[in-house]
Amino acid sequence: MAKVLDVRGLRVDFRIDERYYPAVHDIHFHIDEGETLGLVGESGCGKSVTSLAIMRLLGPGTKVSGEVRYGGKNLLAIPDAEMRRIRGNDISMIFQEPMTSLNPVQRIGTQIGESLFLHRGLTGRAAREQAIQLLQEVGIPRAEEVVDDYPHQLSGGMRQRVMIAIAMACNPKLLIADEPTTALDVTIQAQILDLMRRLSRDHGTSILLITHDLGVVAEMCQRVAVMYAGQIVEQGPVREIFKHPQHPYTIGLLNSIPRMDGPRTRLTPIEGNVPSLRNMPRGCRFAPRCPHAMDVCRAQDPEPVMVEPGHDVRCWLHAPVKEAR
């Protein structure tokens, strides 16, 4: 299956007090046509930074290196004008908080129409009719009226649907969804996920789904990449990783999820906190919190190792068994 996006050795450094610190380090993953890949991890592990680096939306004070391959081109190396043509057209993004992502002083139709004008050349009545059609497609009732509303007149779930309508306006090949169900109640979350699944199926859109909710990953994704402290520590098919997790961090995440089946057991927390950029541990970044940490873990950073076809893990527990890539 053809790859829509291929990320190779992505690194992002933030400048803090005249020094650069790696927020994202040595990231490798790909997304196939029509596939949904989950990027999961605790808050502060670098998921959103990764997505913003792909879209080239990080501000000054950052250094981005590596490769983000799309359509045979490295998105990190193409001119700004070419990236603007791709952003919002071929690759779209849904941001975490729609109330701060939508312009509060512009009507919904105007905000959808901006993308239609920039990438499709639609204006006036044609843009309005297309905006209404998009609102209907994402399940917004009274679309003919909502198109003239302002963001503050809509509920959180409705605003999130508007964000999806804007993102899908030009039928992108890839949709990056950064915590698309955050701050929504459970019923609305289910509706938004169903909507994204349907749009992906109907339009063949690939999705990079960024979340901290493994339940959402199990429901939506074919593959998952588990991120910790700026690195992907394990990735592979969702079913395989949920049944046979190999990295101690992945195991810890799964053990901290409440279960409805089986005997009642106490949840097992992961002790400690994600390290700060200024105080990143030497060697494996998870070693200070890992119950299986060895001397080599505290001295050297492991390389990704293939434990099964398509299933990689970055951990010294597996490095002696199979040759690191």
pLDDT digit string, tens, across residues 138-184:
889 999 999 999 999 999 889 989 999 999 989 999 999 998 887 77
The whole-chain average pLDDT of the chain stands at 91
For residue 179, what are the CA distances in angstroms to 86, 201, 209, 236?
Answer: 22, 20, 7, 20
Q: 3-class SS at 75?
A: coil
| C-alpha span between 172 and 156 (Å, rounded) | 24
Beta strand segments in 163-258, E: 174-178, 206-211, 223-228, 231-237
Beta strand segments in 17-125, E: 19-32, 36-40, 62-70, 73-74, 91-94
What is the per-residue pLDDT across 5-32, written as a single tens digit (0 to 9) for each?
A: 999 999 999 998 889 999 999 999 999 9
Q: What pLDDT does 324 receive? A: 40
Q: Give the pLDDT band (50/70/90) at residue 320.
A: low
Question: Would you give the DSSP letter of residue 256?
Answer: T
> CA angle, 269 as apex, 287 and 320 as ends, to 5°?
30
